[in-house]
Structures are given as C-alpha cells and as structure tokens.
A and B are shown apart, each in its own frame.
Chain A
Amino acid sequence: MTKKKMWQVFEADGNTMGAAAAAHADIDVVSAFPITPCTQVPERIGDHIKRKELDAECLRMDGEDSAGAACTGSSLAGARTLDATSSQGLLFKAQNLYCWAGSRCPVVLLVATRAINAPVNIHDDFSDVMSQRDAGQLMFFAKNQQEVYDFALLGFKIAEDLRIQLPFWVCYRGFKVSHTTTINKILSPDGLKVFRPWLGVYERPQSLLDFEHPVVAGEVVLSEHYLEAKFGQHYGMRQAPAVIKEAAKYFSRRFWNVYSDTEEFMVDDAEYVAVVLGDDFGTLKVAVRQLRAQGVKAGAIRIVSYRPFPVKKLQKLLVGKKAVAVLDQALSSGAPSAPLCSDVRAALYNSVAKIPVRGIVYGLGGRNLEPEEVVQIYESLKHPKKWLGETEPCWIGVRGGSDKI
C-alpha cells in the first residue's frame, strides 16, 4: 500500500496562501476591510466561499474598527474567526486588538506589514505591527508564502487551545511576501483528512451563543479585579511556548517541517551573528555565505516567534559570540534601540555572558536591504570599540546620512 500524499503543489502569493489556510482551517467568520497590501486575503476567501469549498460568513464591514469589533463578537460567540489588515488599518483597529486579548478571543490576524503614514507609503516595514506589539497577542513572522500558510494553520490550533485563548498574528512583509507568487505546498485532500480532526472545532467554553449558560463578556472590571483579569490573560502567554512546541512537533512529523521559535544559519561556530525578522533572513544568508568564503565566521538568526519571545533559546544560541547585530525594520525615535533590538538586549542582559549588541535600523518604507550593506554590518562587528558608545541605533542606507557603519 502506497503512503498517501499529504500535500500538493500550489503556486500562489502570500495573501492567497493565507486565504487557502483559512479555507483549510474551515473558518466560520472572516471579517475584513480592504487595505493594501492585504486586500486579496478576504477576496480569495470570498472566492473559496463562492466555490462552496468553505462554509463561512464573510462580513463586509464599513471600516477597520468595526471589522475588528465584529471579530470580537464572532469569536466570543465561539466562531473560528480570521481577519487581515495592514498599516493604517491595523492602527484604526488598535482598540479592538487589546479587546481581543483581554476578552480572550483567539482571532487569527494576517498582517501584510506596511509602513505608516506620513509620508504615505504602501511598501513594507514593521512599523505597524511593532506599534501594537503589546496588545497581548502571539506574533509569528513568516519568511515566505509557505510560512504564511503554515503559521495561519498552526495559529488556529495554538490560539484556540484553552490554555491560551489569545489572538494570533501572522506577520509577513507587504508585496515582498504578500504579492510575490512562489511554488508552495498546501494540504492535499488526504492531508486535510488528517489535519481537520487534529485541529478540531473551536469550542469556546463561555460562548455567547450558549443559551443554556448565559454569559456576560466585556463588562466593567475596576481596580478590585482588573489586575487578576490581566494576569489571567498574561498566564495564557506564559503557557504559549509549550503549546506551540506541541503543535509544531505534530505538524512537522505529520506534514512538513515548520519553525516554531527561531531559525538559524551557520550559528553554531559563528563569532559574529545578525538577528532579523521575516524574509530578510534570506538576504543575511547571502551575506553570510560571502563572508564565510572569506573566512569570516558569520551567522544569522531569524526570530520566528516574536511573541512569546524565545528568550532561553536566544541566550543559548548567542552565548560565547563576539558581537551581535540586530536589524530592525521599525523605529522607536529617541529610544536607545528599536523594538527587536530592545528585546534581544533585554533577553541577553541577565544571561551569564555579556555580549556587545549593535542596533541597526534599515529599509523603512520598503527600501531593499542589500547584501553588501549586510557584509558591512558584519565587518563592523569585528570592532565593537568603534560603536559601543552609540546611544541609539545606527541607520544604514540613508543617502547623506552621517551614521558610520
């Protein structure tokens, strides 16, 4: 008997992969508002519904804020809910993002990341997701179209786990991932027969539609109980690493390999390591190969699970390294470091080894990161004394900029 093939080839861009994941996870509600560059997600889900491949409610809302509120409602009712947004839309949704986490709504949100106005820009950077990173959700950064699909599928499994019940974001760069078509794997009908029972049906214990056990959600909780409510929410995040590990392990064994905390490239024997989010890991790999050819021991790390942040794993990976560069495609003006760099530094600060960490800001508004620039960054790591006095991140690629790499 031949082994059944769990997957089939599918040529698609990031948004289409996200929509395919939604269909394969058998969502109940999609509530979305069109915004570049995530518009195709609800469009493609609409196609799935039209072709009767998916039985879901497609809510056409009048704005991002109401789309977010609709997600709160449908998730509280116990419906498997998906949303997609970008940039300004994410900001307009902001109050709902906190509401999802606080009300324990496991909404999966696909974010095709994009720069924030002004000036108006539709291209990629992580300013939008980083601005809302403390809303209480799990955040996974996909490096390609395949991972958008993988993480969205896993997202439902992880977020809806009763130990967690928190929103799950899949962040992928606008256009570079969302609109680039590649050859990917999706679950075959046979694969779905295995996947669907494992994923199960979302059964919210406190469903608003359970008329036998009426429940009030989103009520006033003042100082007597707010701290406890927030700790309950936070405890969900504390449970997340174990749940993610379980889910990723099953998925990797049964279907194909998925990353669940970090991805490394030539880190074991490396002396100089760069850390990045998302698909620029590929750019780093090009530079690392060049440097290795010249005898420079370079390595690269990609943070896959930004929330929960893989603190222990990162400490383990970076112990004994001579210097680390953290590349941020987002900004925190006036701060000693940009968001990702802050987290890496904080994770390392209380570990045994004191490692010099340099913060780099690059590529805001979709400017390409060139491998030559990455090589320069690695070269600068050889001489930490030159940059240890920096009080803020070094900007690269600015025409006329005075920051010295």
Chain B
Amino acid sequence: MNNKNFEIQIEKGTPPVNFRWHARGHMGFENVGTMIVSLMAAKKIHSETETSGDASSSPLFGAEKEGKPKETDNTISYDPIESFCKPKIFDVKIIADTTIEGVTANTNEETIFVVNAKDPEEVARQIGLGPSRVIAVDATAIAIAEMKKIGSKATFPNTAVMGAFIHIFPFISPEELYAVIKQKYRGRGEEVVDANITCAKRGYEEAKFFDGRGTDVSKAKIGAPKLLRWDEMLPGAAVYATGNMDENHTGSWRTSRPIRVDEMNAEKILAGLKKTRCTNCMICVACCPEDCILVENEKVVGINLDYCKGCGICNDVCPFGAIGIKPEEKAKKDDKE
C-alpha cells in the first residue's frame, strides 16, 4: 500500500506538527496524548550539542461527563517546543467517534484526518472532511473482537486508532508504539497488554487511505460563534438571553438513551397484548437532573433528547420498569430504520 502522501516528516528548523484528538469521555483517549509524549521521549536524543525530538500533550478542560466530547492536543517537533499556545490550524485531526460535532474546525485542506470508521471515502462525505486526506480504521470493531478473546467487554478504540495514526509519522515504528502500550498497560496484566498490542497491530495493518484532495467532496460549514466586543457585553458578563441553551444541545454528549417502554410496545398495548407500565407517578420528572421528561396534562408524553445526557437516573428510579436504556449508536440506527 502506497501511503507516501500521508506522511509528515519533522526536521530541524521545520515548524512543530500539531494534532488534536476528538473523543468522548469513556473511550480510553485520556491517555493517548501522554502516550505520544512517551513515544517521543523514548526517541529523544540528548547530546552535548543537540537536543532533538520534543513533544507535548495538553487536554482541553470544560464540563466533565462520560460521553462529553473531549479534546486532547499534541505537538511534536524536532526542535524544543517553546510555546504552548493552541494553533490556528491542526496538521492532523483524530476523530474517535464520528458523532462528535465540530471536528472540522481549525483545519484546512492540508489537514490529515484519522477516523474511527470503516470506509475513509464514505466517512469523508458523511461528516464533511473533504477535500482532505483521510485514514480510516474500524477501531471499535477491532477492539470489541480482540477484547472478546480475553473475555473482556471493553470497547476502547484508542490503541487501534493509534496504530492507524502512526502511518503519518514514518519515523515512529509500530514496535515503538507497542513498547509504549506495554509500558502504559503493564499494571493491568499480560492479557490486556497483548490484546491492546494486537489492536494496535491490526489498526496499523487494516488502515485504509483516501486522498480527497482535488475532489469535490464538500467541506462541512462550521458556523463560527459570534464573538462579542467588550462594550457589547453587559456589565459583569451578565446574560439576558436565558434559554440560550437552545443553541447548545447537550444531548450530543449521550452514549446511552432512555427509551419509554410503553412507546416501544404501543402497538401491543393497543391490541391488548401488553399492559401500560407508566403510571404517571412523576418520580422520573422529579429526579431528572436536566428536566428532560416531557409532561402534558399531567401525563408523561416523551423525553427531550436535545438535552438528555443519558445518565439513566430515570431508569434507576422508575418503580415500574417503564424506562429502559439503549446504547445511543443502536438507538440512532433504529431511528433511521
């Protein structure tokens, strides 16, 4: 496979290479940034006259919640890194979950995307990555398969994505990556180490490439938020626009979705085959931290999925089993059907 077009070299005097990992809080990507730093640390040359190879990793902080999109930024460079400011344009973007929004921000046509998906061309169209270079690897499938072998239900796609990712840097060999993985997971037993190394190996081998440069794959338009001048802000940064959460659908953080069992069984209930479970006791309404249970005429009529973060409290508190939980990806698929 010829992937010369996907390589980035770092040399003396060239600007540092910046990349950003887009993942969610539960995907095992908390460690990738520091693993990249460890990779480079092993390669770093210190001598009397020269230091070469430097790396940094900085996670971006905001609200904390499983399923909340999280970013980690990495920089690697031949020369020592002296500035920790965020770059305007990233050379590489790694997308661990294609449902995360805003992944094309701060990129240009030279940006390489590494995506957790089956087909690079299809995913480029689907989430608007073109015209760019895309590397795709079905990392979640690899992780599920390999972890199943050791009897684990873990689905962390991180190591498989890293395996595909190192194609970009010809000076990093897969063996070096395996060594870092071994170092990172050594506390979790040999089985886990080996499974993760296999994931990385498969990620490296099964990566697929799509050079979208020059094609007409349209680029997703990201509306830049309107930034206010200081005199347009209210004193003390007060905000009149209560209800501006309209613009910020935190429902996109969800990894599992509450399902109303009665809604699912609607036909059977009508036919008299099943009984209604919900008694409109309103316990879920009182307990939902996001006020997402919709009520009309003293009856529960639905769930506001724009803001439901999928915490599952409604499921826990319902005494009648009227609310079930479904993985979000499965629910989305069912929606389409």
**A→B interface (CB under 8 Å):** 76, 102-105, 165, 205-206, 213-219, 221-222, 224-225, 227-229, 231-233, 235-236
Contact = CB atoms under 8 A, between A and B. Distances in A.
Given A104-B235, A225-B237, A216 B242 contact: yes
Interface in B213-250: 225, 227-231, 233-240, 242
Given A206-B240, A214-B240, A232-B230, A224 B235 contact: no
Q: Which has the most chain A C-beta neighbours within 10 Å: B227, B231, B238, B239?
A: B238
Contact of B239 (A103, A219, A236): A219
Given A214-B242, A215-B242, A225 B227 contact: yes
B240 A235 contact: no
Contacts of B233: 225, 228-229, 232
A165 B229 contact: no
B189 interface: no
A138 B202 CA distance: 65
B237 A206 contact: no
B230 A231 contact: yes
Contacts, number: 64
Report the 3 A-B pairs with minimum CB-CB distance, sorted nearest first. A228-B230, A104-B236, A103-B236
Nearest to A166: B235
Interface string B159-186: 0000000000000000000000000000
Contact of B235 (A214, A225, A227, A232): A232
A213 B236 contact: no
B272 interface: no
Q: Which has the most chain A C-beta neighbours within 10 Å: B231, B233, B235, B239?
A: B235
A229 B229 CA distance: 9
Q: Which has the most chain A C-beta neighbours within 10 Å: B231, B236, B242?
A: B236
Contact of B236 (A217, A224, A227, A235): A217
Q: Which has the most chain B C-beta neighbours within 10 Å: A104, A105, A216, A221?
A: A216
B151 interface: no
Contacts of A224: 225, 227
Interface string B101-143: 0000000000000000000000000000000000000000000
Contacts of B227: 224-225
15 contacts: A103-B236, A205-B235, A206-B235, A215-B238, A215-B239, A215-B242, A216-B238, A216-B242, A224-B225, A225-B237, A227-B230, A228-B233, A229-B230, A229-B236, A232-B230
Contacts of A205: 235
B62 interface: yes
Given A225-B227, A228-B229, A232-B231, A206 B62 contact: no
**Majority-rule SS of B interface residues:** loop
Nearest to A219: B239
B238 A217 contact: yes
Contacts of A235: 230-231
A15 to B, nearest CB: 30
Nearest to A102: B236
Contact of A215 (B225, B229, B231, B240): B240
Contacts of B228: 225, 228
A204 to B, nearest CB: 9
A216 to B, nearest CB: 4
B324 to A, nearest CB: 34
A219 B231 CA distance: 18
Nearest to B239: A216
Interface of B: 62, 225, 227-231, 233-240, 242
A216 B237 CA distance: 9
A157 to B, nearest CB: 18
Given A225-B227, A228-B229, A206 B242 contact: no
A233 B237 CA distance: 9
A213 B62 contact: no
A206 B225 contact: no
B245 to A, nearest CB: 11
Nearest to A213: B240
Contacts of A165: 235-236
Nearest to B234: A206
Contacts of B236: 76, 102-105, 165, 206, 217-218, 229, 232-233
Given A76-B236, A214-B242, 12 more contacts: A103-B236, A103-B238, A216-B238, A216-B240, A219-B239, A224-B227, A225-B233, A228-B229, A228-B230, A232-B230, A232-B231, A233-B236
B230 A206 contact: no
A227 B225 CA distance: 16
A104 B235 CA distance: 6
A224 B238 CA distance: 15
A64 to B, nearest CB: 22
A229 to B, nearest CB: 4
A119 B236 CA distance: 38
Contacts of A219: 237, 239
B44 to A, nearest CB: 31
A313 B239 CA distance: 38
A217 B121 CA distance: 46
Nearest to A230: B230
B246 to A, nearest CB: 14
Contacts of A236: 235
Contacts of B237: 102-103, 219, 221, 225, 229, 232
Contacts of B230: 227-229, 231-232, 235
A219 B62 CA distance: 13
Contacts of B242: 214-216
A221 B228 CA distance: 12
A296 to B, nearest CB: 50
Q: Which has the most chain B C-beta neighbours within 10 Å: A213, A228, A236?
A: A228
A212 to B, nearest CB: 11
A384 B239 CA distance: 55
A205 B242 CA distance: 16
A213 B233 CA distance: 16
A219 B225 CA distance: 18
A206 B240 CA distance: 8
A188 B229 CA distance: 46
Contacts of A233: 235-236
A221 B237 CA distance: 8
A222 B60 CA distance: 12
A62 to B, nearest CB: 26
A269 B235 CA distance: 45
Contacts of A76: 236
Contacts of A225: 227-228, 233, 237
Nearest to A216: B239
A217 B235 CA distance: 9
